[in-house]
């Protein structure tokens, strides 16, 4: 199991590439570098933009079951005969029918959970500005009523139908041999949502070769992420106004970008909204920052931005919530603050910006945390262990049949 595996990665990429897409790419490179054979079946959500209205409407039921996906994956498995099929995102084009196709052949099936979608249609456990677990505690109908996925009850209904269909078909319980949760927190939530605990193993995403961490920092704070409500943009704006004229760079795009640009007009050149920029430039901006601001108000999966900051030795001030509470220890790699508390966000950020000794100590702790918990070698070792467990589980179920 150490080398020579044939692995098929299945992933539906997003219109705007994000941390999940980069994590899949990084895993593929890591596996190839270690001597495995990796093939990929990838579809992009961008394809939908060119579809006719009728074909888009078909997604209302094809999100639950796509015959073309079932046939395509069955054909790939017959041709390639991989040792492992590793699923990432299948929404909305691929659909879980592909998971059932893989299971039907007896090949070991692994699925990485990058969010909370098996319990929550939008995958965020977030609604109307706060954490919401109504769909897990009550019914998926709650999400449909509120139109939680893309602000549309119709689209939310399609995702809810997919989840309900495959709960009834027992796809989630019987057709995936091993699930990968990104944090212990996520694992607990997945098990609460009904997935068997013995099937859920924790393993963080890989990031591509960590950037250097010996760059002399410049006097600014940086925010990197989607400019949307769940990322705590309102908290970021209010904190920026409290930060005594210190420079802040904001990198990313999203529905609140114009609101941010309007806020920037009242703060002068110290508040820079750079929008979406190339990933290499984003990494450079993180490297040169004195502190990364991460005021997210949802649980998160495993924020790539925080991983990259730790790799760069950049302290982080983040919300004391979900994945952030697990990735950071308050007072060591940075600070944790109450979600939505802009005063605390500004205060802790100013402490790091103003105290060179504190910043140096936290920078060393950040880099140490990355190397001990999130290095590419550690992530690779855990992934191969999970593949071995999936192979054993698949072998056991074949013997039962």
Whole-structure pTM value: 0.94
What's the pLDDT score for residue 244? Answer: 84
What gap in Å lies between CA 278 and CA 283, rounded to an integer? 9
In this predicted model, what pLDDT tens digit does every residue of 306-334 receive, in sequence order? 999 999 999 999 999 999 999 999 999 99
Q: Check for a shared fold between 6-114+170-206+376-400 and 220-373.
A: yes
Domain positions in the chain: 6-114+170-206+376-400, 220-373
Nearest to 152 by CA among 142, 140, 160, 144: 144
CB distance 250 to 274 below 8 Å: yes
| Look-up of token digits 């299948």 | 90
- Angle formed by the axes of helices 19-33 and 376-400, to 10°? 80
Q: Mean per-residue pLDDT for 243-259?
A: 94
**pLDDT over threshold 70, residue 73:** yes
What gap in Å lies between CA 255 and CA 234, rounded to an integer? 13
Out of 8-22, 112-126, 203-217, 373-387, pick the least confident.
203-217
The CA distances from residue 160 to 100, 149, 167, 194, 237, in Å, are 18, 10, 11, 16, 34
> What length does the chain have?
401
CB distance 113 to 37 below 8 Å: no
Q: How confident is the model at residue 268 (pLDDT cuts 50, 70, 90)?
A: confident
CATH level 2 (architecture), domain 220-373? 3-Layer(aba) Sandwich (3.40)
**pLDDT over threshold 90, residue 245:** no
What gap in Å lies between CA 263 and CA 336, rounded to an integer? 25
- Fold annotation for 6-114+170-206+376-400: Rossmann fold (3.40.50)
- Coil, strand or helix at 294: strand
Residue 46 per-residue DSSP state: G
Q: Mean per-residue pLDDT for 120-130?
A: 95
What gap in Å lies between CA 297 and CA 318, rounded to an integer? 10
What gap in Å lies between CA 220 and CA 290, rounded to an integer? 6
Q: Mean per-residue pLDDT for 125-148?
A: 96
Q: How confident is the model at residue 1 (pLDDT cuts 50, 70, 90)?
A: low
What gap in Å lies between CA 297 and CA 267, rounded to an integer? 24
Which runs of consecutive H residues, i.e. helices, occur in 275-375? 279-288, 304-312, 322-327, 342-354, 356-373
Classify each residue of 67-99 as buried b or exposed e, where b means 16 or more C-beta atoms within 10 Å of its C-beta: eebbebbbebbeebebbbbbbbbbbbbbbbbbb
| Token digits of residue 271 | 């508040």
Q: How confident is the model at residue 211 (pLDDT cuts 50, 70, 90)?
A: low
**pLDDT over threshold 70, residue 17:** yes
**pLDDT over threshold 80, residue 196:** yes
């Amino acid at each position: 199991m150490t080398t020579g595996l044939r692995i098929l990665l299945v992933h539906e990429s997003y219109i705007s590439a994000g941390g999940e897409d980069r994590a899949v790419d990084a895993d593929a490179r890591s596996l190839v570098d270690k001597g495995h054979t990796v093939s990929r079946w990838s579809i992009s959500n961008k394809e939908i933009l060119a579809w006719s209205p009728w074909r888009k409407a078909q997604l209302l039921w094809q999100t639950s079951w796509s015959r073309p996906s079932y046939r395509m994956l069955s054909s790939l498995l017959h041709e390639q005969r991989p040792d492992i099929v590793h699923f990432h995102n299948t929404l909305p084009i691929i659909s879980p029918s592909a998971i059932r196709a893989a299971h039907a052949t007896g090949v070991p099936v692994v699925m990485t959970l990058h969010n909370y979608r098996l319990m929550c249609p939008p995958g965020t456990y977030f609604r109307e500005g706060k954490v919401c677990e109504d769909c897990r505690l009550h019914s998926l109908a709650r999400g449909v009523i509120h139109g939680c996925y893309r602000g549309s009850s119709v689209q939310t209904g399609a995702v809810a139908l997919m989840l309900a269909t495959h709960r009834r078909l027992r796809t989630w319980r019987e057709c995936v041999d091993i699930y990968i949760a990104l944090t212990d927190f996520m694992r607990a939530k997945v098990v609460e949502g009904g997935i068997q605990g013995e099937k859920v193993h924790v393993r963080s995403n890989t990031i591509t070769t960590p950037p250097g961490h010996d760059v002399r920092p410049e006097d600014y704070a940086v925010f990197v992420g989607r400019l949307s409500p769940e990322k705590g943009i309102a908290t970021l704006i209010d904190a920026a106004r409290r930060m005594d004229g210190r420079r802040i760079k904001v990198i990313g795009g999203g529905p609140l970008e114009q609101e941010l640009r309007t806020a920037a007009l009242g703060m002068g050149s110290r508040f820079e909204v750079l929008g979406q920029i190339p990933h290499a430039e984003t990494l450079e901006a993180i490297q040169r920052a004195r502190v990364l601001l991460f005021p997210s108000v949802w649980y998160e999966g495993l924020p790539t931005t925080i991983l990259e900051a730790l790799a760069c030795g950049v302290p982080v001030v983040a919300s004391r919530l979900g994945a952030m509470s697990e990735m950071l220890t308050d007072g060591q790699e940075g600070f944790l603050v109450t979600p939505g508390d802009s005063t605390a966000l500004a205060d802790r950020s100013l402490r790091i910006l103003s105290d060179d000794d504190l910043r140096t100590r936290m920078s060393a702790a950040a880099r140490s945390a990355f190397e001990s918990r999130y290095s590419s070698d550690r992530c690779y070792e855990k992934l191969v262990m999970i593949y071995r467990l999936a192979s054993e589980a698949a072998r056991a179920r074949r013997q039962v049949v």
